[in-house]
């Protein structure tokens, strides 16, 4: 029997490892490709600044690659470490770790490409503020990586925790749900944060004098756009750390799996929507700094409304955990 568990754990770890780097590579590749396309567009407008644009592209791509490096780390751990196989719950845990990191890296990789691309174009428009643009791009790209760090944390908890004493039914559903909640909800927040940061770089290039309010509003917008990922992380933690009593039926496991899916999928749209709402605020504050109060208020109300669907998803998710 011990051998059987080990075989299944290995199988799940290989599958999880493949999914981790497979999905994880998608986002970084799109983000890096977008940056390169914008860099080409910028160079064609002013070939004399090719060196500076190239430098900015390289630095932006290095940051955009971080999420896929996290995915590579999880994949390598799953493929080559000796994971103790003391329970069938571990099978679900290692597979969920790969899912969490794979999905979690998509949004951050894509998102980090937007500020890097906008900085390359902006640099050609306003060469005198290239330093400020690069700093703004780097801060924006770094914040975009936060949802993938949440997914990495959940993956590590799933890989390194001992689930030996947990009952297989319904814990496997909770564990898989945790991976899905953290991974899927990170997609929207990563992309949304990137959209805001891209608008910020564009705004600074149009109106360099507005660098301080634009950067501050960008950080505010990114912080709010991260909320669905934080809700996903919260649901994932509840699913991992709450002890569920043993069950003979399939329903509780499905309810817990459904809870993770609900929060994960439900977090994608709000993250992107909040990013779009915030990008409008950042973009127009750069052009019309004197109306910053009204613009920020409108932006925050718009973001709050976009956020509501993530809250509905979280409520249903909690109902599935605690009521059903």
Binding footprint of other proteins on the chain (CB under 8 A):
21, 29, 51-52, 54-55, 58-59, 61-63, 65-66, 68-69, 72-73, 76-77, 80-81, 131-132, 134-135, 138-139, 142
CB of 135 to other proteins, least distance (A): 4
> 180-189 burial, b for 16+ CB within 10 Å, e for fewer?
bbbbbbbbbb
Cis geometry, peptide bond prior to residue 5 (ω within 30 degrees of 0): no
| Alpha-carbon distance values, 144 to 80, 82, 223 (Å) | 29, 32, 10
Joined together, the tokens standing for residue 173 give: 């559903």
Least distance in angstroms from the C-beta of 60 to other proteins:
10
Min dist CB 311 to other proteins, Å, is 32
> Based on CB atoms, which residue is closest to other proteins, 16 or 280?
16
Q: How many CB atoms lie within 10 A of CB 259?
A: 29
For other proteins, the closer CB: 33 or 302:
33
Pick the closer one to other proteins by CB: 5 or 59. Answer: 59
Three-point CA angle 189, 190, 192, nearest 5°:
60
CB of 259 to other proteins, least distance (A): 30
Q: Closest approach of Cβ 272 to other proteins, in Å? A: 25
- SS3 (DSSP) at 249: coil
Residue (140 or 280) nearer to other proteins, CB = 140
Enter the tokens of residue 236: 């994932």
Note whether 189 and 225 are within 8 A (CB): yes
Looking at the Cβ atoms of 76 and 305, the one nearer to other proteins is 76
CB of 51 to other proteins, least distance (A): 4
Residue closer to other proteins by CB (options 64, 320) is: 64
CB 61 → other proteins: shortest distance, Å? Answer: 7
CB of 71 to other proteins, least distance (A): 10
Nearest to other proteins of 29, 304 (CB atom) = 29
Helix (H) or strand (E) holding 271: helix 251-287
244 and 252 in contact (C-beta within 8 Å)?
yes
- Nearer to other proteins (CB atom), residue 153 or residue 304: 153
Those residues whose C-beta lies under 8 Å from the C-beta of residue 156, and which sit 6 or more positions away, are 74, 97
Residues with Cβ within 8 Å of 201's Cβ and at least 6 positions away in sequence, in order, are: 115, 118, 119, 122, 133, 136, 137, 140
| Burial per residue of 273-290, b for 16 or more beta-carbon CB atoms within 10 angstroms, e otherwise | bbbbbbbbbbbbbbeebe
């Amino acid at each position: 029997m011990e051998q059987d568990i080990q075989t299944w754990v290995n199988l799940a770890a290989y599958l999880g490892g493949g999914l981790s780097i497979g999905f994880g590579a998608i986002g970084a590749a799109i983000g890096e490709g977008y940056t390169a396309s914008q860099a080409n567009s910028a160079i064609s407008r002013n070939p004399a600044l090719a060196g500076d644009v190239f430098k900015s592209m390289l630095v932006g791509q290095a940051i955009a690659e971080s999420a896929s490096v996290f995915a590579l780390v999880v994949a390598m751990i799953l493929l080559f470490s000796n994971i103790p196989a003391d329970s069938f719950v571990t099978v679900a845990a290692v597979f969920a770790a790969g899912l969490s990191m794979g999905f979690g890296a998509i949004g951050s990789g894509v998102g980090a490409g937007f500020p890097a691309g906008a900085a390359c174009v902006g640099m050609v428009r306003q060469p005198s503020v290239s330093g400020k643009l690069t700093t703004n791009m780097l801060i924006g790209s770094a914040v975009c990586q936060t949802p993938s760090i949440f997914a990495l944390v959940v993956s590590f908890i799933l890989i390194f925790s001992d689930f030996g004493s947990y009952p297989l039914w319904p814990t496997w559903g909770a564990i898989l749900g945790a991976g899905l909640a953290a991974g899927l909800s990170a997609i929207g927040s990563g992309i949304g944060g990137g959209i805001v940061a891209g608008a910020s770089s564009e705004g600074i290039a149009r109106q360099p004098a507005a660098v301080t309010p634009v950067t501050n509003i960008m950080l505010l917008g990114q912080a709010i756009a991260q909320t669905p990922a934080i809700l996903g992380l919260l649901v994932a933690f509840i699913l991992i750390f709450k002890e569920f009593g043993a069950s003979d039926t399939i329903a509780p496991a499905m309810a817990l799996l459904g809870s993770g899916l609900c929060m994960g999928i439900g977090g994608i749209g709000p993250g992107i929507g909040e990013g779009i709402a915030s990008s409008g605020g950042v973009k127009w504050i750069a052009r019309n700094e004197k109306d910053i109060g009204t613009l920020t208020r409108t932006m925050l109300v718009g973001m709050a409304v976009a956020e509501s669907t993530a809250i509905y998803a979280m409520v249903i998710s909690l109902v599935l955990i605690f009521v059903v």
